[in-house]
Amino acid sequence: MITDWDDAYANAAYIADGERWPDAWVAPAQRWRETCGARALLDLSYGDAPRNRFDLFLPEGAPRGLVVFIHGGYWLALDKSYWSHLSRGPLERGFAVAMPSYTLCPEARIGGIVREVAAAIAAAAARVEGPIFITGHSAGGHLAARMAALPSPLSPEIAARIAHVVPISALADLRPLMRTEMNETLRIDDAEAAAESPALLAPLPGARVTCWVGADERPEFRRQSALLANVWTGLGIATALVEEPGRHHFDVIDGLEDPDHPLTRTLLGE
C-alpha cells in the first residue's frame, strides 16, 4: 500500500548522484547541435504560443521517415534543448528527428499540451515524408502514448502514418498524480484524468506500441508501463513491455544516442 505518493513518484533521491540530472544533459545536447550544423533546424514554429517550437534534425540524404521525441519533466519543466543528442541514434539510421517544446503547467492544462504536441507532430510531418515513429520520456512518455489513444488528437492522415509508438517510463494513468503535491500546479481532476490517461482509453486500431522502462526504476514507473501494456494488449493491438536491465529513470533514454542500441532498433522496428 502506498501512503506517500510524492515519494512514489520521486526519482533523483533513489539514484546515485541523481541530483546531477537534468543538468547532465545540457552539454552533450549542445555539442550535438553544433556537430549537426546545418542539419539541425532549430526553433521551427508550430503554433502561436512562445513555446510552440520544435527542432528538426535531418540525416544525410533523404529521410527514411520521421521520429518524434517528446520530453518529460512532469509537464512542469524543461524543454527541447536538453535532449538533442538523443537524435543521434535514429539520425545515423537515416531518420529525421523532431523534438518539440510545449507550454508547461500551470499555464496549460495537460489536455492542452496533448493538442500542442499533436500540432507539433503535424508540422514536422509536413516537412518529412514517410512513416512516423513516436517516443517520449516520463511525462513525454504519457504524451507519446496519448498520440496512440482514442479520441486521437492527430488528423486521420497523420495517424495513418504512425508505424510505432514507444513510451519510455510513461505516466499512463494520471489518477495517482492527483494525490501528489505537484497536482497543486498540474490541476489534474477526475475529468481530465479520465480524458487524458492512455491506460483508461482505447488505442488506435492497428497501433503498435512498446512500453519501455528501466528495471531499476521506481516501482510506480514500472507498474505504470506494465499497466499500459497489459490493458492495450487486452484491447487487441500489438503491444510489448521491455524492462531494460540496469537502467534507472534518468539513463533509460541513453540508448537513443546509439544507432545500434536495442532501444533505437526497437523504436525503428529494425
Per residue in 238-253, pLDDT tens? 999 999 999 999 999 9
pLDDT score for 85: 98
What's this model's pTM, rounded to 2 decimal places? Answer: 0.97
Distance from CA of residue 162 to its chain's centroid? 14
Per residue in 48-87, pLDDT tens? 999 999 999 999 999 999 999 999 999 999 999 999 999 9
Distance between start and end Cα atoms, the chain: 40
pLDDT score for 253: 98
pLDDT score for 270: 84
Burial class (CB in 10 A: 0-12, 13-18, 19+), 241: middle
pLDDT score for 179: 97
Give the cell for residue 191.
Answer: 475529468
Low-confidence stretches of the chain (pLDDT < 70) are none
pLDDT score for 72: 97
The ranges assigned to domains in the chain are 5-267
Residues 6+ apart with CB under 8 A from 8: 2, 176, 218, 219, 220
pLDDT score for 1: 86
Domain 5-267, classified CATH 3.50.50.60, yes or no: no
